Amino acid sequence: MIETGNTGRTWLLTGASSSYALRLTEQDELVHLHWGPRISLAAAEALAAAPELPFRAFESHLDGREEYPVEGGPRFVRPALSVRTPEVRGTEWAFAAASVDGDELRIGFTDSVHRLALTLHYRMRDDSDVVERWATVAHAGADGPPLELLRADAAAWSLPARDGWRLSRLHGRWAAESRLARAELTHGESVISSRRGHTGHQYLPWVALDADGAATEESGEVYGCALGWSGSWRISVQRLPDGLVQITGGAGYDDSGLLRLAPGESYTTPVFAGLWSGQGFGGASRAWHAWQLAHVIPDAHKPRPVLYNSWEATGFDISLDQQRALAERAAAMGVELFVVDDAWFGQRTSDRAGLGDWTANPDRFPGGLKPLADEVHGLGMQFGIWVEPEMVNADSDLYRAHPDWVQHFPGRARTEYRNQLVLNLARPDVQEYLWEQLDTLLSGTPVDYVKWDFNRCFTDAGWPGEEYPQKLWIEHVDALYALIDRLRAAHPSVAFESCSGGGGRIDLGILSRTDQVWTSDNTDPLDRLAIQEGFGHIHPARVMAAWVTDSPNHQLNGRVSSLRFRFVSAMAGVLGVGGDLTEWSEEELAEARSWVDLYKEIRPVVQYGALYRLREPRGGLSAVQYVHGEETVVLMWLEAQRYGERPPALRLRGLDPAATYTCLDTGTVHHGSALLHQGLHTELQGDLDARVLRLRRG
Ligand code: GLA
């Protein structure tokens, strides 16, 4: 709901349990009033009427208080917007108009010198506490020189005055993504970003702040911000000299030039979403999850199937017979989607060749992929394939025909990573080539699922012959989005997974057009617990793919673990299997079948339930709980038992203390009050033990 104050210059947005308020001053400054628990319009107007700050030389009365600080005038914070022409740098705004359209508020400004129009967008839905913010910047002149956008963030968020703040972030690297780290927010600027052309393994584009480090999993105020952009990006959290905190975020990693706008052209930023929760980090996660399931993830109401992926089993050495053998075992195990990962196309017998040539390798699949797809369908499974469309190997027909289609600088080396180069997707001819190749592929083969990979960062982001080559950082991502959108529209039954060497492209932008993401190339079930814990702070289990692979884990660390531990770890997300099933014994295959059966039973609770992180995976006992309607599922893991001590009792959350809950395996009836207060003993012991507990109310 959006309310407008009497003067027409104060606005109050109200969601499920919180409010957001802002006002326009007589000088057309757009200042922040409130972000937190629900308030009334009268309270917002009273805040708007508060006296101005006293004037002090060397201080800005705007810093830390503006909704969208720009470069120019009495401001010294990092600007959200920076614009220049050869003569004038920065902007000076006049209010133009405000409008409310359903749950969206738009506030427009103009700069008469630049002939620039700026619109700030706010959306808060009735069923959520997430505020979606973005901006559009347009060159409104009919003629004249282009305007250079050095930077255009999506939004700036202001936090209320508190004594201090703690900053949480999700950091990582390849095979070690989304690990939670928390530290006091010191004065100055804390920046997380990607300079790599994709979202990156190094940070999920998310931060959370709690006042004085006082929030816990289930109590206290938490502010969160998350960016929906799959290219380079930056989120900057500034603690200003007077202690106020401002958070800006948007596309691009610095302020050195994003785009040029010719007369009539405009740029729309990605969405930078913000969330206030009064219920701790757990409450914040659940609110993020509910919003993504309701408003971001496509077809979120369709549960994700159990998949088999051949990558760890067969690598680059694949054949029809071998895939068939895997498919038969996967089907017998209850797998619902069989994915051929890599090496099925072009001359792709190693990572040295083939990327760019998206037709089946004729030696390996003489009749194309259709015979295998038909067999997989005959076994009762969906059929999926792996692609990496934005890349090309130098050893490929595509590169031999079009060496100028890759990002490069004239006269400079073309850096290869994994023996591959990045196609310049900003070029319309490259876009059209990829569309034709992929549309033909999906039209000629009955494919149900596409795993879309991206296995290297940008390094030589040049575009010879183009006047403003750096626009490719933005336009690559725009073209990627447009290509996926077009493929989805033309092939609506095909589901997409976003992958980038594991979790290198996970953000709200890609999640608004893909059905799930590959969380990490790290399939070690113990490491995964921490990776999955971090992931769950922002994204729901419904999109978090997790595979059971071989033991010892030959991808990474040689760790030996039981099938039980591997399954219960992977059952915390979208379950998949990725081991070499031809090497699994009959007993292992049978045990796996029973785990897959169990997962199908608990799937609605895991994929759609409210998540409670009961104990963090930091050695010893850890557990997560999902509550969905009458059903509760607890997944618990014991890393190592010490001194023969019994692991601590596990206290559950989110239950009704007055209700009883029946264990679906033993029939034991538990009182909600006891589960919440005393907890229950897990019966876990030794090293790497795990268990699934299912409770039904009543
Ligand atoms: C990336 C992915 C893996 C696999 C390989 C194939 O590393 O993350 O899951 O698809 O590429 O080359």
Please indicate whether residue 501, judged by its CB atom, sits closer than 6 Å to ligand 1. yes
Report yes or no: 44 and 5 within 8 Å, Cβ to Cβ.
yes
Beta-bridge mates of residue 35 = 20
Domain count, the chain: 3
Q: Is 451 exposed, middle or buried (0-12, 13-18, 19+ CB in 10 A)?
A: buried
Please indicate whether residue 499, judged by its CB atom, sits closer than 6 Å to ligand 1. yes
In a domain, 36, yes or no: yes
Q: Is the peptide bond before 69 cis (omega within 30 degrees of 0)?
A: no
- 539 and 620 fall within a common domain: no
- 575 and 659 fall within a common domain: no
In a domain, 480, yes or no: no
- 562 and 672 fall within a common domain: no
Q: What SS3 state is found at 373?
A: helix
- 257 and 144 fall within a common domain: yes
Rounded Cα distance between 519 and 178, Å, is: 9
- 31 and 149 fall within a common domain: yes
Nearest CA to ligand 1 atom 1: 501
Report yes or no: 18 and 222 within 8 Å, Cβ to Cβ.
no
- Give kind and range of the element (H or E) at residue 689: strand 687-697
Residues 164-187: b if buried by 16+ CB within 10 A, e if exposed: ebbbbbbbbebbbbbbbeeeebee
What is the distance in A from the centroid of ligand 1 to the CA of 453?
Answer: 7
Q: What SS3 state is found at 219?
A: coil
- 175 and 228 fall within a common domain: yes
Mutate to test the pocket of ligand 1, among 351, 355, 452, 453 (most ligand atoms within 8 A of CB): 453
- 681 and 635 fall within a common domain: yes
What pLDDT score was predicted for residue 55? 83
What pLDDT score was predicted for residue 28? 96
Mutate to test the pocket of ligand 1, among 199, 455, 549 (most ligand atoms within 8 A of CB): 455
What is the distance in A from the centroid of ligand 1 to the CA of 513?
Answer: 20
639: containing domain: 615-697
Backbone angles phi, psi at 87, to 5 degrees: -105, -30
Q: What SS3 state is found at 332?
A: helix
What pLDDT score was predicted for residue 492? 98
Which of 570, 588, 608 is the last residue before a domain boundary? 608
- Domain harbouring 691, CATH code: 2.60.40.1180
Place of tokens 């079948």: 593
Mutate to test the pocket of ligand 1, among 173, 177, 307, 311 (most ligand atoms within 8 A of CB): 311
What is the distance in A from the centroid of ligand 1 to the CA of 543?
Answer: 17
**129 given a catalytic annotation:** no
Beta pairing, strands 574-577 & 307-309: parallel
Which of 582, 608, 634 is the last residue before a domain boundary? 608
Q: Report the candidate in 99, 16, 7, 95 with the shortest Cα–Cα distance to residue 44.
A: 7
What pLDDT score was predicted for residue 260? 97
In a domain, 80, yes or no: yes
Rounded Cα distance between 290 and 654, Å, is: 15
- 285 and 354 fall within a common domain: no
- 132 and 200 fall within a common domain: yes
For 664, other C-beta atoms within 10 Å of its C-beta total: 17
**527 given a catalytic annotation:** no
What is the distance in A from the centroid of ligand 1 to the CA of 501?
Answer: 5
What pLDDT score was predicted for residue 53? 81
Return the ligand 1 atom nearest residue 386 CA: 10
Nearest CA to ligand 1 atom 10: 341
- 125 and 188 fall within a common domain: yes
Q: Is 616 exposed, middle or buried (0-12, 13-18, 19+ CB in 10 A)?
A: middle
- Domain harbouring 377, CATH code: 3.20.20.70
Query: 498: which 2 tokens?
Result: 């976003």
- Domain harbouring 114, CATH code: 2.70.98.60
- 234 and 327 fall within a common domain: no
Nearest CA to ligand 1 atom 12: 342
Ranges of residues in the chain whose predicted pLDDT is under 50: none
